[in-house]
Structure 1
Amino acid sequence: MKEALIVWGGWAGHEPEQGAAVVKAMLEGEGFKVFTETTTEAFADPSIRDLSLIVPIVTMAKIEKEELANLSAAVRGGVGLGGYHGGMGDSFRDQPEYQFMVGGQWVAHPGNIIDYRVDVTRPDDPVMQGIASFPYRSEQYYMHVDPSNEVLATTRFSGEHAEWIDGTVMPVVWKRRHGKGRVFYSSLGHVAAEFEVPEMREILRRGLVWAAA
């Protein structure tokens, strides 16, 4: 049986506890044994190197040097890493090593909660198969991203809320490798209610399963 660890915490506005519950049920539905923790101290446990998947749901928090070193080593050794929105893409702002592993870092969401479009760019990929481009209402994440990411979906900024980025195409969903580990990220999911959007939920479910393979 595959085993997954969810670590939730940080800024309460992203509803990490509620999101962790949804992800836990999702993974259990895929046959995972799921552990949940509420402190980054869990990342320092040497046993995480035996897991199939780690899901951080921690926004704007701090992580100790030894915790990050052990987490990074686990992923480089083959443990999958997957997550969504600020829970993974804006976790530890002062840790470039973490951002190198994730493949990006949130920097802005002009206009806050707005209507925008998610464009599927890799319909042939198993994570995106059968999912067409779709409208979405949430924070439209502007991120600093790694050019080595394998981008599966993007969004285009209109410039309405920041005219100098008009027309900028930004990755929304990507996967990558970090050492031997598979890494998956989706910027969708500001609050737990967004899991009710079928495309958002299915993309994350498939992505987490892929990362754990």
Structure 2
Amino acid sequence: MRTTHPTALVVRGGWEGHRPIETTDVFIPFLKSNGYTVRVSESTDVYADPDLMADTDLIVQCVTMSEATAEQVSGLASAVAAGTGFTGWHGGAADSFRASADYLHLVGGQFAAHPAKEPALRRGTAADSFLPHTVHITPLGREHPVTAGIEDFTLDTEQYWVLHDDLIDVLATTTHPVRPWHPWQRPVTSPAVWARHWGAGRILITTPGHDVSVLQNPNVTTIVRRGMLWASRTASAS
């Protein structure tokens, strides 16, 4: 039996460098203030629980790399196809379960790289890949409820290079310029925010979100929050 209030399932874990607990804790109060009953799981085992998944309106995932079994990924994909919303940011959603083709098929995009500074400026830390860049809202994004009213904005953090398919609706992009120390020979544009319809479900992926400070950027915060509400089954069914 479904619960009266909308239910959000926060699934977190994987590589600790993306601070899965701290970053998801940024948004749990927002979900609760919007009437969600929030469950938190430190394991993807929950994806293989069909009863729990059927009672979940929104999944917020922050699990960078790590592994998920075929049964878990199948349970996740089936739930989304049946109407459960799915959202996440950065590596917690766009670089999860690298060995699972079925997961990649579900979300429609996969982190490939975050280009680094010129070699002389690298210090062997995560900041080596922090580059100033602009997130451009697309014409579609200017009309979409997740990104409408947001202007192009700049960040100084990891700039994700994403491999993706044509089924995603790209709401924002970022362009990797040509630099002497990188091997590509023309600018490459990657999706930075995308929406995806999968069966009866909705998916919203935001690539900025390396740490709490990025997620607290007002533009990123707004996109993630709106993305949660848009992806949720309560929105999909309306």
Aligning the two structures, in what range does the TM-score lie when normalised by the shorter sequence? over 0.9
Q: Indicate the residue corresponding to 2:49 in structure 1.
A: 45
Q: Which amino acid aligns with 1:11?
A: W
Q: Indicate the residue corresponding to 1:177 in structure 2.
A: 197
Supply the distance in 2 between the matched residues of 1:26 and 1:114 (Cα, whole angstroms): 29
Q: Indicate the residue corresponding to 2:6 in structure 1.
A: 2
Q: Indicate the residue corresponding to 1:113 in structure 2.
A: 130
Deviation, 1:60, is 1.0
Q: Which amino acid aligns with 1:136?
A: L
Aligned pair 1:157/2:176, yes or no?
yes
Q: Indicate the residue corresponding to 1:193 in structure 2.
A: 213
Supply the distance in 1 between the matched residues of 2:150 and 2:209 (Cα, whole angstroms): 17
Deviation, 1:124, is 1.5
Residue correspondences, number? 213
Q: Which amino acid aligns with 2:37?
A: K
8 A contact 1:157–1:165 mirrored in 2: no
Alignment of 1:58-97 (within 5 A): 58-97=63-102
Q: Which amino acid aligns with 1:130?
A: G
Q: Which has the larger radius of gyration?
A: 2
8 A contact 2:63–2:93 mirrored in 1: yes
Taking only aligned residues, the RMSD between alpha carbons, in angstroms, comes to: 1.1
Deviation, 1:135, is 0.6
Supply the distance in 1 between the matched residues of 2:8 and 2:23 (Cα, whole angstroms): 15
TM-score (norm 2): 0.87
2:159 to 129, 134, 140: 140
CA deviation profile, 1:150-192 (whole Å, cap 9, x unmatched): 1000011112252415311111001011111101101010011
Consecutive unaligned residues of structure 1, counting only runs of 5 or more, are: none
CA deviation profile, 1:79-129 (whole Å, cap 9, x unmatched): 001111000011100001101111111110001111100001121111111
Q: Which amino acid aligns with 1:89?
A: A
Q: Secondary structure at the match of 2:99?
A: coil
